[in-house]
Amino acid sequence: MALSRRQFIRNVSVAGGALSIGFTLNGCSATQNPIYDAKALQPNAFIRIDEAGQVTVQIHKAEMGQGVITGIITLIAEELEVQPSAVNFEMAPVHSAYDDPEMALQVTGGSASIRVYYDILRQAGASTRATLIRAASQSTGMDETDLYAKNGRVYSHDDSYSASFGELVAAARTITV
């Protein structure tokens, strides 16, 4: 009996859908740490600021032409009060810290990269900025409300103090975020 084109496509789709392959990647366990630099400020899995003041963002989503890298960098940069063009990025390693909250694994899809991570990334940037301001406050004795961040530096409102993020890294590493 000859199969029609429609029957053939239906049968192949059913057979292909029934085939699934499972495997694990050794060395990619959730117990391993993401990239770690002992001299840098790394208050969370997404942000690293080195002693030169360079901000690097870990991109945990694949870029598929929708501007995910630009979006992630912009969300964090806005909260850190740095220009997005001054931020470097690296592709994040496989690690449970980057698991999608909706799917419980590190995955890109469903147009969820910015929608799901919008608040998470903004909070990561804001808490890092607050940590740097707290470090400046502790080193100067000034109140945190008298300080603000702008363009990769912390300033006092009365213009009596200014320090780069890089200058604050060592002190900021000692602060619990």
pLDDT of 32? 42
Residue 159, judged by CB atoms within 10 A of its CB (0-12, 13-18, 19+), counts as exposed
pLDDT of 103? 78
pLDDT band at 16 (very low <50, low <70, confident <90, very high): low
Q: Render pLDDT for 65-119 as a digit per residue (tens, 0 to 9).
A: 888 999 999 999 999 999 999 999 999 888 888 888 887 777 777 777 888 889 9
pLDDT of 62? 81
Angstrom distance (rounded) from CA 128 to CA 107: 25
Q: Which residue has the higher pLDDT, 48 or 38?
A: 48
Q: How many CB atoms lie within 10 A of CB 139?
A: 16
Angstrom distance (rounded) from CA 121 to CA 94: 18
